[in-house]
Amino acid sequence: MAAIHNLTNLNNKLSLDNEKLRRDNNNLTVQLGNLTQNYTVLESKITNLTADVQNLNVEVQNLTTRNLQLETQRKNLAEQIENMKTNWNKLNVSRAQWSIDAYCPTVNKGRQCKACQEDWDLSGSNCYVYHNAAPPHQKTWEEARENCRGKGSDLVVVHNEEEKDALNKYSVGSSGTDGYWFGLRAEGGRWKWIDGSNLTESYWTPQPPTTATDGQCGMSVQNVGWRSVNCTEKKQWICIMKVLSV
């Protein structure tokens, strides 16, 4: 009986131990599941981080390449700026020499300075040059203006009686329909000077056309007055520039 009792107690103890082991196993199984899930999550995060690192590496490479390109562009622009400065300085020297030669030509091994360039006429505070070109060499209004601009001047603009008289004076040999272009044209139904100012009608002799039709320009005929002529016609022209001031 004692042996049976002992075996019963041992069996109960083993049953309790077995139950405890079963609970421990269940807990470990749950923990293992949690660890597996956490591992899967971490593995996914690592994969994502690896992809992010790779993307960042690509971006760094792209930025490095872009930085090298910008640095090259910066060096090229700096070189261009230096070249432009050099050319600008040379141009200024050239223009200064040109101005000296134009306004102070050499006479008897010395220089004699004048208010206007060689071949330009002084009148008041302006210098004038008239181009009484023969018909094959006459120009449209736009062509005439480009010619004046190429000389550092422009077509004649009239803002006072002195300039009006000068325009008439330098309209040399003009008559009838053969006159000289000056800096007046119709824009937007109004007569305007090339400096942007509107025409003062009192300067017309005789009175100006009642309507200003776009495409019309002013032509000066000596001792007759100003006429409205199609800007595409070929005429002579007069340029004006301010006198040299020192």
The pLDDT tens digits of the residues spanning 21-45 come to: 888 888 888 888 888 898 888 888 9
Check whether residue 34 and residue 56 sit in a common domain.
Answer: yes
Check whether residue 13 and residue 35 sit in a common domain.
Answer: yes
d(C-alpha 50, C-alpha 42), whole Å = 12
Q: What residues contact residue 79 under an 8 Å CB cut-off, 6+ apart?
A: none
Q: Examine the fold and report which residue of 113, 135, 157 is the final residue of a domain before the chain moves on.
A: 113
Check whether residue 83 and residue 133 sit in a common domain.
Answer: no
pLDDT, tens digit (0-9, with 9 covering 90-100), for 131-147: 999 999 999 999 999 99
Check whether residue 208 and residue 224 sit in a common domain.
Answer: yes
The domain in which residue 152 lies consists of 121-242
d(C-alpha 246, C-alpha 115), whole Å = 9
Check whether residue 25 and residue 43 sit in a common domain.
Answer: yes
Check whether residue 106 and residue 179 sit in a common domain.
Answer: no
Which residue's structure tokens are 């000068």? 166
pLDDT, tens digit (0-9, with 9 covering 90-100), for 77-128: 998 998 888 777 766 555 555 555 666 666 676 676 778 888 899 999 899 9
pLDDT, tens digit (0-9, with 9 covering 90-100), for 196-205: 998 876 777 7
Residue 130 sits at φ, ψ, to 5 deg, of -110, 140
Q: Examine the fold and report which residue of 48, 82, 113 is the final residue of a domain before the chain moves on.
A: 113
pLDDT, tens digit (0-9, with 9 covering 90-100), for 160-187: 999 999 999 999 999 988 999 999 999 9
Check whether residue 104 and residue 169 sit in a common domain.
Answer: no
pLDDT, tens digit (0-9, with 9 covering 90-100), for 230-241: 999 999 999 999
- The CATH number of residue 126's host domain is 3.10.100.10
Which pLDDT score is estimated for 183? Answer: 97
Check whether residue 86 and residue 145 sit in a common domain.
Answer: no
Summary mean pLDDT of the chain = 87
Task: Give alpha helix (H) positions in 131-210.
Answer: 141-149, 161-169
State CA 15 to chain mean position distance: 95
Check whether residue 14 and residue 86 sit in a common domain.
Answer: yes
Check whether residue 55 and residue 126 sit in a common domain.
Answer: no
* Percent above pLDDT 90 for the chain: 51
